[in-house]
Amino acid sequence: MLVGSLLRRSEWIFIAYLVYTALLAQLLPVRAPVPLVTAVLNLTIVTGFVLLAYADSLRRRRFLGIVRDWYPAPLMLLAYREMGWFALPHHTYHLERAWVAWDKTLLNDWGLRAAIECCGPVLPALLELAYALVYSIPVFSMAMLYAYGARSRIDRFLVVFLPAILMCYALFPYFPSEPPRTVFPGEDFPTVTTVFRRFNWWLLGGYGIHTSVFPSAHVAGGFSAAFAMMRLLREHRWVGRFLLVMAILIATAVVYGRYHYAVDALAGVGASLLAVGMAAAMERPVNRSLG
């Protein structure tokens, strides 16, 4: 039996992304040894996917299946950090100067910041907390599938979630940009500071990358998880609705907190919708064959 036929659809998606980034590293003007390290690292990860799939086909142990479920989770963070290696040494900031004009209209002229801060620190703290919890969204979603006895739907969830995130990462090198909090320090910042904001700034200061902020993978991940869970756990609607509220809070937080530009957030929503559409298209041949 061919190993390729044993791979899950979500595993093929991640492998395709790894091949793409390995090739991209050879074409971009990045410093040595980034092209070599990227190729070796991505090949190692692909080998892990293949070996897990092969071992699972031989043994059919629940443990191996669970490992395959969770194997992509830490790799998403690794893929984000790897994309940081592709940052250009200099930015022209022409994209940022265009994007920030729209943000000023949204935050100042249309009163978004004033509306958020009208009740003191409550809503600003909630937005910053939602932003801080964005990394837990895929873990929470998969845990809910386990909790409700729907582990067989994990691959269907990842087929929506992974493309939304990875599409954002794949586009980073083509839109070199820095976040508004660093390009325009002090401009249009929140007037309310909370402990959650200080935590987010500390986290981004140590673990953020400088390749791009367009599209927002935070927003794409939040909405794609919400849309996926609304389809996959219809018998427990609260999960999808909760995630949708979280996604809206995250999209608001990234603009209000000056982590992203509004156009980044909109592009992130677009990436999530595209991922949902791709997943639905992939399921149609399966549904027709079953019919």
- pLDDT tens digits, residue range 2-11? 555 789 999 9
Domain identity same for 78 and 112: no
Q: Is the peptide bond before 33 cis (omega within 30 degrees of 0)?
A: yes
Final residue belonging to a domain, choices 86, 109, 137:
86
Would you state the pLDDT for residue 291? 43
Domain span at residue 249 reads: 90-290
Would you state the pLDDT for residue 59? 77
How do residues 17-62 score in pLDDT, each as one tens digit? 999 999 999 999 998 899 999 999 999 999 999 999 999 988 778 8
Q: Is the peptide bond before 138 cis (omega within 30 degrees of 0)?
A: no
Domain identity same for 151 and 167: yes
Domain identity same for 277 and 139: yes
Would you state the pLDDT for residue 289? 46
Domain identity same for 106 and 73: no
Domain identity same for 71 and 159: no
In the predicted structure, residue 160 carries a pLDDT above the cut 90: yes
Domain identity same for 194 and 252: yes
Domain identity same for 46 and 132: no
Would you state the pLDDT for residue 282? 84
Domain identity same for 147 and 213: yes
Domain identity same for 72 and 99: no
Nearest residue to 217 (alpha-carbon basis) of 285, 154, 265: 265
Domain identity same for 179 and 278: yes
Would you state the pLDDT for residue 285? 62
**Mean pLDDT value of segment 132-147:** 96
In the predicted structure, residue 271 carries a pLDDT above the cut 50: yes
State the pTM of this model: 0.93
Would you state the pLDDT for residue 231? 95
Domain identity same for 67 and 186: no
